[in-house]
Structure 1
Amino acid sequence: MKLNKIIKALTMTAGLVASFSSSAEFMDFTVDESNYGGSLVTADKFNGGYVETISFDGAGGFSATAFATFTQLFANDGTSNIPASTLGSSYVLYALFEATGTIETTTFAGKDSSVLTGTSGQFTLYLDANADTTASPEADYALNNSGDDLVLSTSATLADNIAYQIGENGLFDFTFIDFSLTADGEAYFVSPNPFYMTVRTNGDFDSFATAATQITTGDVSAVFSNAPAEVPEPSTIAVLALGLLGLGARSRLKAK
């Protein structure tokens, strides 16, 4: 399910989606694409997709590994695609994520639901100049054709975060701090200098059973800031999830 469809549904929930979206800031940054058929590009958001493997231990814990690919840059508070960017056509960015945490299952509005909270997490961001690197759940996300890729940044500190699944739909909001650029990262992320210390990722995911090992996919966006962002409280997301229920009902009605 695409995030824009989710947002449209949430706007029907008495404006509560505004409180969810307004907590995200869109800070400008500049990347240098001159080595990849482009030039300097100023943006405020990355967008892409991901695949994730998540395993549950049966005792209220989980561990997850994800491979995300970023293929678009946006500006104007994340609303406008940047056609001049060569991201997605000449090169791509990708990230490997790992996280562990806890899960709480409950029933909300008659639907099975779950809240996942990370207790630790880390990621590494890469630049793939040939756009040919792959990774799959079946191979435990081992990287293929990555010998010439550049490591741009790392973060080993997971801050505020939450993921909420209700029925067939899910949303997540994760913040990583201590975002550290390598020398190659400083050559790509050229402004501001020093660069932002915090990266916030959010998006959606396809539903999965909260037992054994599952594979899910979804959309992901990333924005930067100098201070950790506040993620919505679980109670707020629970109310927003009513919009997800409404979206599911509308989809079922249209399918009839």
Structure 2
Amino acid sequence: MKPLSSFLRFAISAAAIGAALISAPAFAGPLFTVNEGSVPGTAANLVVADRISFEYHARVEQTIVGGLGGGNDPFTQTGFLTKAAFGSPTGGSVPSQLNALNGYGIYGLFSITGQSDTLAGGIHATFQTLTMTLYIDPNQDTSLSVSNVAGSPVNVGGAAGDDFAIVTYTLDVGEAHIFAGLAQGDFKALLNATLTPQGQLFFVNPNPFFPLESLSGNTNSFIGGSLTDSFVAMADGGGLELFQAAVPEPGTIALLGIGLFGLGMTARRQQRGQRQA
């Protein structure tokens, strides 16, 4: 079996995928309203959207017990995501102060544990736990990075003292794939979402707010993995967050993940064609 570290690098950036996803009306969720005026230093403004695009960066630590297989090989994943834009149900991004000049940023710190197995020369990972806290960075002056040192936390630097938590998440169900032959994959998870008091001032409609969130997208690169040995790999990608009022119909999250992966493959083929032209 070919080690994952020899896979071709997927050249499209997470930002490009995020921009493509936010413009796709097929991935619509229920509407929600954000009160940007609740963020210190921002102007009063209400944003009505149905999704949020994001980018992520993470370290995956996989322990292989006697060769990857059997579904009992534990892994941990540590990383962060940054919100890119709010999206409209008709396609395109919704004007906001998120990542704008004199605006604010949103980031999340997450940790995942689970077990992995082989799948057609790649890896299938089943999530057992996922915890994440979402923060607002009022002055966009927080820096984030994750290293390849096993066991190390996300490095939160810069001026993070004024950041505040708005949502905490726990896992309902989730999984991820790294596909054979390419340094890429997909992921999907259904999360339980709990707003903090400051989060209730930011997410103002509906009230009470949605208790669930589906998170789905593409892994664009997965560097350092193996099918035969324990490893530490670095991963990055992007996707969409859609809020949910109830557990989706069976297969809904899976279909979203398939759709996102297909969009990524289309972008990759287009980029390959441009290089050959």
- Poorly superposed stretches of 4+, deviation over 3 Å: 2-7, 239-256
Q: Is the 8 A contact 1:3 1:203 kept in 2?
A: no
* Structure 2 residue 84 is the aligned partner of structure 1 residue 71: yes
User: Which letter does structure 2 place at the counterpart of 1:141?
Assistant: V
SS at match of 2:156: coil
> How far, CA to CA, are the matches of 2:197 and 2:208 in structure 1?
12
Could you tell me the TM-score, scaled by structure 1's length? 0.79
- Alpha carbons of structure 1 residues 253 and 91: separation in structure 2 relative to 1, 3 Å: closer
* Structure 2 residue 129 is the aligned partner of structure 1 residue 120: yes
Aligned to 1:155: 169
* Structure 2 residue 242 is the aligned partner of structure 1 residue 223: yes
* Structure 2 residue 209 is the aligned partner of structure 1 residue 203: no
> Could you tell me which of 8, 24, 29 is aligned with 1:26?
29
> Could you tell me which of 192, 213, 223 is aligned with 2:206?
192
> How far, CA to CA, are the matches of 1:225 and 1:240 in structure 2?
18
* Structure 2 residue 160 is the aligned partner of structure 1 residue 146: yes
- Alpha carbons of structure 1 residues 154 and 255: separation in structure 2 relative to 1, 3 Å: same
User: Which letter does structure 2 place at the counterpart of 1:196?
Assistant: F
Q: Is the 8 A contact 1:160 1:231 kept in 2?
A: no
* Structure 2 residue 43 is the aligned partner of structure 1 residue 37: yes
Q: Is the 8 A contact 1:159 1:228 kept in 2?
A: no
SS at match of 1:26: coil
Deviation readout 1:17-57 (Å, 9 max, x if unpaired): xxxx97x6511110111242241111111112111111101
Aligned to 2:98: 87
Aligned alpha-carbon RMSD (Å):
2.9
Percentage identity across aligned positions?
Answer: 25
- The offset of 1:72, in angstroms, is 0.9
Could you tell me the TM-score, scaled by structure 2's length? 0.73
Question: Which runs of 5 or more residues in structure 2 are unaligned?
Answer: 1-11, 66-72
> How far, CA to CA, are the matches of 1:146 and 1:242 in structure 2?
37
Aligned to 1:3: 17
- The offset of 1:160, in angstroms, is 2.5
Aligned to 1:47: 53
SS at match of 1:134: strand
Aligned to 1:18: none
Q: Is the 8 A contact 2:18 2:239 kept in 1?
A: no
